Amino acid sequence: MAAAISGGAATTGAAISAAGGIERVQAGVAALIDHTLLRPEAARAEIEKLCAEGAKYGFASVCVNSAWVRQAAETLRGTPVKVCTVAGFPLGANLPSVKLFEAERAISAGAAEVDMVIHVGGLKSGEDDAVEADIRSVVDACHRRGALCKVILEMALLTQDEKIRGCQAAVRAGADFVKTSTGFGPGGATVVDVALLRATAGPGVGVKAAGGIRTLSDVAGMLAAGATRIGASSGVKILDEVRALTP
């Protein structure tokens, strides 16, 4: 499995190698994961636990709903772990001005990354210009404030043509990442969809695989397909699998 992780990482340019021992593998995997808790019933103590795990294991970020951004930012202050949040989540059918406001307020509260959901119905209606404008407003707001923007396409709801058009709209709008899924839709990340996003977005845009990624094998497959970030609520379990590889 270590070889599979190394090969997948090489595809995406991530520095994951077993050469320096399991600790380096663990650190490499953790640094690619957005440690995520977006369940609506998540309570304050669970957010505190998520942040503690984020700091302990060195995840790329903790991803929380915007109501918890300020708490997460305060908890993680002084650590390299970023706070990620969501806008227009999980349906994407909000007014563009609402997504923009949500993103701006979250960044002001301490978010360094915003995962926004596209207007899926607009894309399916052929309103690509409006979809792109919606994305661009959030992307520009993030970039003005030094934050990254990841664009969630909710691939399980889209046809092949819609997946490509949605990805192209996100790239034209300046997105830092395109992302497969909210984790609340009818399906999560697939290797085929990740490969399609990578081929469509090109090498200059990140690809985040999210939704149903629960094992080290899942991570390896997504990295091999071209993902550069993983969204998962099972990050600690995945790292337990990495540690189990110790001879």
Asked whether residue 219 carries a pLDDT value surpassing 50, the answer given is yes
Structure tokens at 62: 């903790």
Q: What is the DSSP letter of 190?
A: -
Q: Which long-range contacts (CB under 8 A, 24 or more apart) does 30-33 make?
A: 30/57, 30/58, 30/59, 30/60, 30/235, 30/239, 31/58, 31/59, 31/60, 32/60, 32/219, 32/223, 32/228, 32/229, 32/230, 33/59, 33/60, 33/219, 33/229, 33/230, 33/231, 33/232, 33/235, 33/238
The pTM of this model reads 0.90
The better pLDDT of the pair 125, 11 is held by 125
Q: Is 56 a catalytic residue?
A: no
Q: For 231-245, how does the pLDDT look when each residue is reduced to its tens digit (9 = 90+)?
A: 999 999 999 999 888
Q: Please name the amino acid found at residue 123.
A: L
Q: Is 179 a catalytic residue?
A: yes
Share of the chain above pLDDT 70, in %: 88
pLDDT of residue 246: 63
Fold of the domain spanning 2-244: TIM Barrel (3.20.20)
pLDDT digits (tens, 9 = 90+) for 60-85: 999 999 999 999 999 999 999 999 99
Judge contact between 94 and 123, C-beta under 8 A.
no
Q: Domain ranges in the chain?
A: 2-244
pLDDT above 90 for 6: no
Model confidence at 214: pLDDT above 50: yes
Scan for tokens 């085929």, then name that residue.
Answer: 192
Choose between 76 and 4: higher pLDDT: 76
Structure-token pair, residue 4:
């599979």
- Catalytic residue, chosen from 34, 115, 176, 218, is 115
Buried b (16+ CB within 10 A) or exposed e, 218-245: bbbbbbbbbbbbbbbbbbbebbebbeee
In terms of Cα–Cα distance, which of 226, 171, 219 is closest to 35? 219
Q: Is 115 annotated in the active site?
A: yes
> For residue 130, is pLDDT > 50?
yes
Would you call 131 helix, strand, or coil by DSSP? Answer: helix
Catalytic residue among 99, 150, 163, 208: 208
DSSP per-residue letters across 208-239: EEESS--SHHHHHHHHHHT-SEEEES-HHHHH
Whether pLDDT at 135 is above 70: yes
How confident is the prediction for the chain on average, in pLDDT? 90
**DSSP SS3 for 9:** helix
